[in-house]
Amino acid sequence: MELGDSAAVIPDSFMGYRDDITTQMTMILDQIRAPLIVPVLRLGVYICLTMSLMLFVERVYMGIVISLVKLFGRKPEKRFKWEPMKDDIELGDSVYPMVLVQIPMYNEREVYQLSIGAACGLSWPSDRIVIQVLDDSTDPTIKDLVEKECNRWASKGVNIKYEIRDNRNGYKAGALKEGMKKSYVKSCDYVAIFDADFQPEPDYLWRTVPFLLHNPKLALVQARWKFVNSDECLMTRMQEMSLDYHFTVEQEVGSSTYAFFGFNGTAGIWRISALSEAGGWKDRTTVEDMDLAVRASLKGWKFLYLGSLKVKNELPSTFKAYRYQQHRWSCGPANLFRKMALEIMTNKNVTLWKKVHVIYSFFMVRKIVAHIVTFIFYCVILPATVLVPEVSVPKWGAVYIPSIITLLNAVGTPRSLHLMVFWILFENVMSLHRTKATFIGLLEGGRVNEWIVTEKLGDLKAKSATKTPKKFSFRFGDRIHVLELGVGMYLFFVGLYDLFFGKNHYYLYLFAQAIAFFIAGFGQIGTFVPNS
């Protein structure tokens, strides 16, 4: 008997049984293919095409609006009154509003000095500003370091308060809420909020406070984020492309049209009376900033986005940290929409068009449809049509619309246009987590209130000064990510089928996307450093 003779090793009865099972499975699939698989897949295609059109129209609309804003020069100073602050000899410093600066932090060993130092360096009359450090740290060593840093600045004459709690109830929202209860806050007119990795320039208050002072219906002035580590690795470059579009287009369009946009949770300054009228900070979702913004807008308050004012901050530079951040940013808005949809529809303080904008454009298209269609359509439905040739996707839906959407998204970061292909693959990988988080938020699943603070690395320029720039590196992540590997295997299998038997010719895209999911599955996104 030869080892290669399978018939001699495996009994004929078993071989026949296996062939029978294979035949039966094939027959079952053939029988349900026409009455079940084809109609369901065709329905999925129609739904995804509808969502793609919704996203396409929204992107084109925002592209037109931002073009008109730039063309006609609708600068903030033309839409809202702005005059520089002037000294008054008789009144002295009392002519300046009292400003509270809040810095919430949690075990921020790498960045606490940067944020506290930047806040204490803000140019404003010293008796008209209070720096409030809200430290929820659980590490005693870090707590001591933060307290000593606050004492160091206090010894220089800075009015800085170090505040702690005996719990972390409500996470960031809970800390901000407790901070607003302090007796010295009662004398404050405005509150500026900076996360622990944010470093405002000294003139931040001089450029924002006059808007609030001269426009009594203005509740919020939001500055733009400036990323100090965007060149750290390929993953940070991809994040920069996505966030630049958010700030360059989405925030600007919302500010210019309906004077409404989502508060970014940091680098913004609020009118305290507006914050209080809206109900203050609530911890019912993981997007307490967006929650406050929507409630304040429903009270009739207006917001201003100041794109010319930039505040330095840090992007997540590890895939693990970015996954947690994106879960929170995707789950929270979906959950907030579930909780506030009826309240928005029945509100009587805002116009019908603003309600439509908030419900349809802000929530439905940008926070729900954009995540779901990216993953379900391009990573599930479109590949499935390769296996079921009876169902086809029109070229305008498979190629033209996504190409235009991609180009419109890329306008915010012209320097990274050559990385567009990598950005598409990266966004499709992340859409898996965003879609999962969106459904958790809509259905209030188990991780709906999960809050994991994004890891920060601090002064990267100082740290990298002693290192040799790397072109390529490879390291295994903290663990294998099964979901990414599963999707990667599915796309790779479909790509092989399309290469040898299919007629759609999607295999190049399928192979590239499969590789991207495999890289993510082994925790390797972010290990490649772009040359420019």
Q: Which helix (DSSP H) or strand (DSSP E) does residue 335 occupy?
A: helix 319-346
| 3 state SS of 117 | helix
Identify the three-state secondary structure at position 129. strand
Two tokens, residue 525: 């996104």
Q: Which of 195, 283, 289, 291 is catalytic?
A: 289
Across 136-271, the runs of DSSP E, i.e. the strands, are: 160-164, 190-193, 218-227, 268-271
* Torsion angle defined by CA atoms of residues 403, 404, 409 and 410, in that order, rounded to the nearest 10 degrees: 70
Dump the DSSP string for 410-464.
HTT-GGGGGGHHHHHHHHHHHHHHHHHHHHHHHHT-TTTT---PPP----HHHHH
Question: Is-catalytic flag, 136?
Answer: yes
Instruction: Based on the residue annotation, tell me whether 88 is a catalytic residue of this protein.
Output: no
As a residue count, the chain comes to: 532
Catalytic residue among 136, 195, 244, 498: 136
In one-letter notation, the amino acid at residue 11 is P
Q: Going along 61-208, which residue ranges are E strands?
A: 99-105, 129-135, 160-164, 190-193
Beta carbons within 8 Å of 419's beta carbon, 6+ residues apart:
234, 237, 238, 241, 530
Distance CA 159, CA 130 (A): 5
Sheet holding 129-135, edge to edge: 160-164, 129-135, 99-105, 190-193, 268-271, 218-227, 302-313
Angle CA 241–243–245, to nearest 5: 70
In this structure, is the dihedral angle defined by the CA atoms of residues 411, 66, 193 and 98, taken in order, positive or negative?
positive
For residues 416 and 423, the answer to whether their CB atoms sit within 8 Å is yes
Distance CA 330, CA 286 (A): 10
Query: Active-site residue numbers?
Result: 136, 289
